[in-house]
Amino acid sequence: MFFTANREECEKVKLPMSDKCMQVKYSREGRNVYFSFGLLGNAMECHIAAKGKSKLLLREAVNMFCDEIFLIFPSVEEITGSVIKKSVINLLKKCGFVSINEKLMDNHGKQELVTSMARFRNGVH
């Protein structure tokens, strides 16, 4: 189930946020997965964060989040995010996301490969 997440909770899990985004949390059995998301044209750009045992809910939470976004926002054709960690890339692939771009980016003075990923409405792209 999704609930509004307060700023303090989001900061604890280091969830990237901006004033143009909403923050929610997926909660089950005392575990929380946090989402920050905002509309960007016909795409929903989002960030995800979880700590400790809450990471065990990531796949379930991502799938539920995507289903809800596509239901609530009929104009949204894709959900996108940028990922550095290989384990998160693999998880998102299991949730129907595909890699749409890769590029080297500066991350606090360190060059890292960033993969842009998207999940398309009805799996069409």
73 pLDDT band, cuts 50/70/90, is very high
CATH (residue range 2-123): 3.40.630.30
Q: Where are the domains of the chain?
A: 2-123
CA dist 33 and 49 (Å) reads 6
pTM: 0.87
- pLDDT at position 96 is 94
Segment 4-44, tens digit of pLDDT: 999 999 999 999 888 889 999 999 999 999 999 999 888 99
CA dist 100 and 45 (Å) reads 14
Instruction: Judge residue 62's burial from the number of C-beta atoms within 10 Å of its C-beta, 0-12 exposed, 13-18 middle, 19 or more buried.
Output: buried
